[in-house]
Chains A and B, each alone.
Chain A
């Protein structure tokens, strides 16, 4: 039986790696994938606590998080496609059209 805090450490590690990916990478697709990693880390927490309390509420929440991730990926990738068609680049630094 693995104690619950082990799952929390795993989740913390994945979350921190995801935050580092969002903040340091320039490629927008990698940033979106890092956000998926963060949502995945949250899911581990939810399922671990659901297991600890013996209910399925956490798992239902995790299903909602996965739904959100799917919606976010669809819209985000659509925006990336539209942006790439207009500017021919994928770098987040170049996304400055609202600046002027």
Chain B
């Protein structure tokens, strides 16, 4: 399955490259567009992992819902002032070094546990009828977390309306 590998490395390079561009661009709109590219590349990775339902959820909900919300807010706030300001804070070097140290720690942890973590890494698993299986798990075994998540969404909706209202 050489095509699988080529597609995976293409999507991975696309995701990492546009993520780097996202955190370094000065213009917030450009950052949002690069984040959309990253999310679409991640959706492609989900498709390679045979998670078709999550692929479509990622495209419709993340890119079509959350990112549109971000772009609406970017349009509502004033961009002209923030374009002239310096975009990185004072502790940026220390912060970047600490973040890279965190990444190196996780790298070492995965590297050391690679043999015991992935005993069956090369076994190809085929999950037939992905959407059906996800629905069975979601409405069967994970019923209570599903209801809690819906209450969370209701609370978030009310909170967003209250926060964005002009006069409370």
Contact = CB atoms under 8 A, between A and B. Distances in A.
Interface of A: 1-10, 12-21, 23-27, 29-30, 32-34, 36-37, 40, 43-44, 47-48, 50-54, 56-57, 59-60, 62-64, 66-75, 77-82, 84-85, 88-93
Given A14-B16, A24-B96, A44-B42, A75 B54 contact: no
Contacts of A74: 69, 156-157, 159-160
A21 B73 contact: no
Contact of B118 (A4, A15, A59, A91): A4
B65 A70 contact: yes
A54 to B, nearest CB: 4
Contacts of B86: 26
A72 B69 CA distance: 12
A33 B106 contact: no
B2 to A, nearest CB: 10
Determine the main DSSP class of A at the interface with B. helix
Contact of B110 (A8, A21, A30, A84): A8
A17 B19 contact: yes
A4 B121 contact: yes
Interface residues of B, number: 89
Contact of B153 (A27, A62, A70): A70
Contacts of A93: 89
B159 A23 contact: no
A3 B164 contact: no
Contact of B77 (A48, A66, A90): A90
A60 B54 CA distance: 9
Nearest to B104: A16
B112 interface: no
A51 B50 contact: yes
A82 B125 CA distance: 48
Contact of B31 (A10, A30, A59, A62): A30
A56 B137 contact: yes
Contacts of A70: 61, 65-66, 153, 156
Contact of B88 (A4, A14, A24, A81): A24
B54 A26 contact: no
